[in-house]
Structure 1
Amino acid sequence: MAHIVFFEKPGCAGNARQKQWLRDAGHQLSVRSLLTEPWTAASLLDFLDPLPVADWFNRVAPRVKSGEVQPEQLGRTEALALLLAEPLLIRRPLLQVGAERRGGFDPPAVDRWIGLTPDAAARLRETSEGCAAGSMASCRPTE
């Protein structure tokens, strides 16, 4: 099984489910806060670069949901500057296994990459990213 560096938004229910499914599949996790990591343009691009710019963004971030930030309208340089200034906008989780880095949690891709249990892969198709049912309330840090 894999050792995964898992960058999350602390307290996010969606990230909690993803971590549990990875652990259930036998993976070991080193969990880090996406919000406090000292990101540089190069370190963040290591995770996001293969994706289209619009897919770099967390669709349930308040500024994206409100339309204030429109990922489809941004170029690489402007998008990267926004993400570095406001890590809450970064699509999560960010995953690293060895030298390979990926952004977001696409269940079939994660299953092919490092493996998930069959029941976890099926459940993940229903609620794979972000907060439960798109609710920001479920992503508030636990007290």
Structure 2
Amino acid sequence: MNKILFYEKTGCKGNARQKALLESNGYSLEVKSLLDEPWERDQLESYFVDRPVEEWFNDKSPAVKQGQVDPSAFDAAGALDLLLCEPILIRRPLIEMDGHRMCGFDDRVQIMLGINKSFQGLEACQNAKERCD
């Protein structure tokens, strides 16, 4: 059985759907809180390999949706500074499996995890009133 380290925002319905999909595909999960982890700069950055800086941010977070934070305005160093200070802005989940680290749950991540069928909307909030703060 493949083991995954899965960093989530506790109580997030989107993360719950993602975990259920992974478990139904035979994965064993070790779940940790993204917000409670004492992140180190290099450790956090390692989850964003090959992703543009804009994709490091949770585009569902109120600060991003309301225009208070513009992910396109950051370089890597500035983005890491902000994400370390405000982890609610980190795109989730953060996943580690067999030494590979990744962020989000888009098609690219699903392919890396060997999930053959693409499941759309697994990063989206199902309820328009749901908040990611």
**1:9–1:35 Cα contact (<8 Å) kept:** yes
Ranges in structure 1 where 5+ consecutive residues have no aligned partner: none
Structure 2 match to 1:84: 84
Distance 1:85 1:2, change over 3 A: same
| 1:75 Cα offset (Å) | 1.2
Q: How far 1:77 moved relative to its partner?
A: 1.2
Q: Is the 8 A contact 2:14 2:124 kept in 1?
A: yes
Deviations 1:64-108 (A, max 9, x none): 1110100001111111111000000000000000210001111x3
SS at match of 1:7: strand
The alignment status of 1:109 with 2:108, answered yes or no, reads yes
Contact 1:4 1:27 (8 Å CA) reproduced: yes
Amino acid at match of 1:113: M
Q: Which residue of 1 aligns with 2:130?
A: 136
Change (3 A) 1:134 1:50: farther
Q: Provide structure 2 residue ranges, at least 5 long, that are not aligned to the other structure.
A: none
Aligned to 2:21: 21
| TM superposition score normalised by structure 1 | 0.85
Scaled by the length of structure 2, the TM-score of the pair is 0.91
CA contact (8 A) 2:102 2:109 kept: no
Separation of aligned partners in 1, 2:32 and 2:81: 21
- Between the aligned partners of 2:25 and 2:14, the Cα distance in structure 1 is 17
The structure in which a higher percent of residues are helix is 1
Q: Deviations over 1:18-53 (max 9, x none)?
A: 000000001000000000011011000110132100
Give me the whole-angstrom Cα distance separating, in 2, the residues matched to 1:130 and 1:36.
22
Q: How many residues align?
A: 133
Counterpart Cα distance in 2 of 1:30 and 1:97: 10
Structure number with the bigger relative contact order (C-alpha 8 A, sep ≥ 6) is 1
Displacement of 1:112 in angstroms is 2.6
SS at match of 2:47: helix
